[in-house]
């Protein structure tokens, strides 16, 4: 399988922006971000073992701003989700237990998820995990193993005792399998005033609704509102979140020219309604990353 640098075409980029414009007025936003001026370092792991782990840097063009918090108390129930763009991830923890997570397809060989679904920052190692694409009732359509995984180096180097584990909690999975036949999510940036727009957002994944990890096999979606956006953090504490949702998309859905589009503006990372916000640094990481595979 030949991998190529993931670059959004101009048409696709404009389309993503048009979709977001239907949710909130989009102007070139100033986005609060914790990245330094020298860019963000990432750690790439080769699951074949043919190349060593490698650190690389992506330089960013970021501005700073602050956002105004907005609160809402809308509560919603989970409904079955039929979209095959949301995948199930199961990793083996340090006790040999299977732990469920979620992710979502963004390109023909690329899946976005939470870093803690692929990397154990307490032991400083990558998890052994499997990816499953299922139908709406949980039947497996395809399973696959990762080829490469990328995580922010700041996440990989977190001080386990003194820092919260959800900082820089996002990752990219690259697979050999051809995902072109499945639905995909666009990625988009929500402006700082998105929370006050009262736009409905959704969170999808494989939640542990009955308290049994082995039952996280059906895909569900819940809807609610954004309550706050600050830097790399997006909060939707009016949506009840469950184990197994980590790595799933936080997204808006809009119709454009008679067709429905889903644009992820965040990645769910922890209970209480916390996600990693999609910002320009994440767009560069996922869509314009020349280090997808080791350089030959």
β-partners of residue 254 are 261
Contacts for 133 with CB less than 8 Å, ≥ 6 apart? 84, 87, 88, 140, 141, 142, 143, 182
- Pair of tokens at residue 210: 């009955």
- What digits encode the pLDDT tens for the residues 262-274? 899 999 998 888 9
Cα(289)–Cα(72) distance, integer angstroms:
37
* Segment 91-119 mean pLDDT: 94
Q: Where are the domains of the chain?
A: 10-36+65-287
pLDDT at 238: 87
* Segment 152-172 mean pLDDT: 79
Range from 53-67, 98-112, 159-173, 229-243 carrying the lowest mean pLDDT: 53-67
Q: Is the pTM above the cut of 0.85?
A: no
Give the rounded percent of residues in the chain with a pLDDT score beyond 90: 43
- Using only the alpha carbons of the chain, give its radius of gyration: 18
- The residue that leads in pLDDT, 9 or 40, is 40
What secondary structure letter does DSSP report for 218? S
- What digits encode the pLDDT tens for the residues 4-36? 545 454 445 444 554 454 444 333 334 444 445
Computed over every residue of the chain, the mean pLDDT equals: 79
Q: Which CATH number fits domain 10-36+65-287: 2.30.30.90, 2.70.70.10, 2.40.10.120, 1.10.10.60?
A: 2.40.10.120
Contacts for 296 with CB less than 8 Å, ≥ 6 apart? none
């Amino acid at each position: 399988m030949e991998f190529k640098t993931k670059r959004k075409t101009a048409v696709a980029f404009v389309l993503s922006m048009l979709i977001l414009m239907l949710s909130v007025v989009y102007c070139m936003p100033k986005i609060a971000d914790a990245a330094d001026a020298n860019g963000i370092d990432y750690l790439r792991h080769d699951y074949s073992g043919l190349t060593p782990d490698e650190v690389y840097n992506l330089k960013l063009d970021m501005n700073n701003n602050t956002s105004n918090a907005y609160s809402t108390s809308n509560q919603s129930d989970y409904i079955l989700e039929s979209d095959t763009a949301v995948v199930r991830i199961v990793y083996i923890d340090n006790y040999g237990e299977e732990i469920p997570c979620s992710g979502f397809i963004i390109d023909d060989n690329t899946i976005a998820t939470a870093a803690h679904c692929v990397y154990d920052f307490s032991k400083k190692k990558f998890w052994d995990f499997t990816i499953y694409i299922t139908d709406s009732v949980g039947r497996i359509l395809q399973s696959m193993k990762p080829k490469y995984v990328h995580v922010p180096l700041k996440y990989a180097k977190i001080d386990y005792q003194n820092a919260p584990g959800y900082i820089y909690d996002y990752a990219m999975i690259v697979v050999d399998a051809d995902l072109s036949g499945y639905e995909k999510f666009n990625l988009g940036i929500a402006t700082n005033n998105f929370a006050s727009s009262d736009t409905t957002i959704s969170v999808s994944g494989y939640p542990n609704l009955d308290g049994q990890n082995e039952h996280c096999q059906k895909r569900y979606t819940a809807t609610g509102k954004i309550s706050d956006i600050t830097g790399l953090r997006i909060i939707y504490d009016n949506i009840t979140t469950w184990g197994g949702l980590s790595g799933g998309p936080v997204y808006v859905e809009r119709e454009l020219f008679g067709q429905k589009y889903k644009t992820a503006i965040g990645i769910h990372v922890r209970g209480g309604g916390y996600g990693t916000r999609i910002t320009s640094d994440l767009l560069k990481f996922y869509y314009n990353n020349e280090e997808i595979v080791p350089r030959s």
